[in-house]
């Protein structure tokens, strides 16, 4: 299948950037589980299990919790809140939480309490024009963000250098900082040129089949900082 081929290319890109890939067993009864980002937030020295906004996705957190618990201390968002990892943008020690149809203000408050001992500060921002915060803005590095300013207000990110997506590619604001290179969807060449013009190396891979299920570059992995 095309989606499987694109996912294999995604895994290969991580490995080419010298990331060790830990693959979890397939869960055919949970078809969205490939979008593992929504199930957890990984910080320096701590993993936080989310409570996805879509109820059918909540069982996905079980296997992710078990895998992360072998590597890091693990805590959880409570059953009274909702949080998708796609709404959580970590930039250095700052965490932006998108208040969207999938993530609630109470979850942002819980995340602030859970992450504060690790030195993180949380800021909640409204998301109305797209599914998740990281549909509209992602980190290229700790100083630079890739943004679609038609979907999220750029003044919310005044402390950062902003690279605007090409207007022909509104869905091109999602990328993954792999350290040595930026992972970005091959469907957005005009935006890729802007990232490269700013001095960043980019590896473009096909993600268009995954995008049909509202997936993007950040969706298919949880990056664990080296301890």
- Strands, E, within 94-186: which ranges? 94-99, 121-126, 137-139, 144-147, 161-164, 175-177, 182-185
The confidence score (pLDDT) of residue 155 equals 97
Token pair, residue 66, equals 């078990």
Please report the pLDDT score of residue 212 as a whole number. 83
Average confidence (pLDDT) over 194-214: 92
Q: Is 132 a catalytic residue?
A: yes
CB 147 within 8 A of CB 137: yes
Output the pLDDT for position 226. Answer: 75
pLDDT of residue 227: 56
Of 130, 175, 219, 220, which is the active-site residue? 219
State the residue for tokens 């268009």. 208
Mean pLDDT of 29-37: 94
Decide if 184 is catalytic: no
CATH number of 2-220: 3.75.10.10
Q: What Cα–Cα distance (Å) separates residue 153 from each residue in 94, 130, 186, 209?
A: 17, 12, 25, 28
Instruction: Give the pLDDT confidence of 122-153 residue by residue, as tens digits.
Output: 999 999 999 999 999 999 999 999 999 999 99
Catalytic residue among 130, 132, 175, 220: 132
Q: For 52-78, what is the mean pLDDT?
A: 97
């Amino acid at each position: 299948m095309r989606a499987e081929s694109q996912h294999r290319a995604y895994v290969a890109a991580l490995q080419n950037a010298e990331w060790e890939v830990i693959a979890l067993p397939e869960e055919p009864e949970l078809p969205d589980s490939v979008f593992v980002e929504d199930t957890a937030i990984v910080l320096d020295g701590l993993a936080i299990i989310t409570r996805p906004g879509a109820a059918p996705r909540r069982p996905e957190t079980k296997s992710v919790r078990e895998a992360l618990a072998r590597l890091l201390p693990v805590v959880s968002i409570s059953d009274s809140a909702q949080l998708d990892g796609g709404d959580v943008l970590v930039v250095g020690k700052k965490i932006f939480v998108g208040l969207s149809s999938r993530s609630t203000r109470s979850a942002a408050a819980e995340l602030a309490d859970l992450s504060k001992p690790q030195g993180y500060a949380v800021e909640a921002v409204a998301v109305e024009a797209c599914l998740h915060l990281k549909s509209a803005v992602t980190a290229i590095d700790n100083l630079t963000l890739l943004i679609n300013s038609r979907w999220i207000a750029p003044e919310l990110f005044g402390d950062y250098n902003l690279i605007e997506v090409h207007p022909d590619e509104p869905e091109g604001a999602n990328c993954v900082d792999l350290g040595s290179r930026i992972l970005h969807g091959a469907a957005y060449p005009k935006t890729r040129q802007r990232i490269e013009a700013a001095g960043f190396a980019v590896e473009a891979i096909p993600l268009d089949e995954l995008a049909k299920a509202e997936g993007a570059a950040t969706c298919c992995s949880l990056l664990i900082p080296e301890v």
